[in-house]
Amino acid sequence: MTQIISPQDIVIKKKIGSGTFSDVYKTYLSGKKLAFKKLKIDPEVNFVEPEILREISLLKLLTHKPISINLITAEQIVYGRDSKGNICIGYTMEIFPKDLHDCITEKFLSYQDKISISNDLLKALYFLHSNKIIHRDIKPDNIFINHNKRAFLGDYSLSKVFSNTYKDGTHTSKIATTTYRAPEVVKGKKYNQKADIWSLGVSLFELYKDSMLDLNDDVKTLKYLENEVKTLQNCLLSNIIKECLKVYPSKRLNLRKALMYKEFNNNHNDIKQISKMCWKMDYNITISDEVEEMAENFDIEKEITKKLAQKIINKTNYHAHGSISLAAKFYETEPIEDIVYDVEEYYELFNSMDFNLYL
């Protein structure tokens, strides 16, 4: 079980990274050096970012992953008021010397290192997809490399649990980072976990070439990759890249089959273990008339949103209006606006749900 600690329990030394939804700091906890990912909360804006709820919730799910799967996990959840009295939420994690972006630009990885890193990433992604999780932002900046040149996939700000293919109008196309978006995402079409396979393919292409793509336009990137992939030499890594970068999602790399390539030397039983679900979704929740009525008032589209609202009520006795509002932030494509509730009240409710809103 992940420990919950106060922001005042850690000693922050310096900022070592920054992103859209968070800042990362080098920090110490009881003398141990860690990275602290502080999720951004604007005290002037009365709004709870869905990305914060989803990332922390997903980290709670990943506490049950096999130790052999290289995914970033939280050592502690950090929650409470900092020394300035501001509400703070985030998590501590292992600190890594480099990310894959650094390794690519510094050009010091051997071909065998690249094969090992590819194997790590294929396993991590196979585990996520087997557990109905789509990452949605795979890129070298979100892949961390330890001193043994082992790769760890992290940053779940855009990750979500999925069931199959997202239908038109039920999910945003604003996923991933320019350069790594799959063709179906660029075109605003429905997508599924195969969008992750494309993003992985682009990342491995950069790894193979020892060069980051210097393109900030989706369409130009797709055209460039289409031409470049044809020129790749025949080897294990280039063949994986070619399979990842198929235009039609259904034709892209099959992760399980790829992991059984003899060059990876993976054990069949180990791969079978990776595919097992490490958590179960609880759909056996009866929705009350009060929640049904409140959901209708809010134009709630998804049944799963109502089930989460009911779960919140059942566990915390919180009122239906606030429960629907929080559930909508988590599951709806367009979360409803806050009207009267304090942001801190929502985070306290999140805390009462053990920082996990997944059913």
User: Which among 305, 311, 292 has a CA at the least distance from the CA of 335?
Assistant: 305
Residues near 155 by beta carbon (within 8 Å), at least 6 away in sequence: 19, 72, 137, 141, 142
Please give the Cα distance from 63 to 78 (Å, whole number): 15
Q: Which helix (H) or strand (E) holds 59?
A: helix 50-62
45, with CB counted inside 10 A (0-12, 13-18, 19+), is exposed
Catalytic residue from among 99, 120, 137, 155: 137
217 as an active site residue: the answer is: no
Cβ count near 175 (within 10 Å): 22
User: Which among 144, 143, 148, 139 has a CA at the least distance from the CA of 182?
Assistant: 139
DSSP label of 10? S
Please give the Cα distance from 168 to 180 (Å, whole number): 21
Q: Which helix (H) or strand (E) holds 160?
A: strand 160-161
DSSP 26-54: EEEETTEEEEEEEE---TTS----HHHHH
User: Active-site residues: which are they?
Assistant: 137
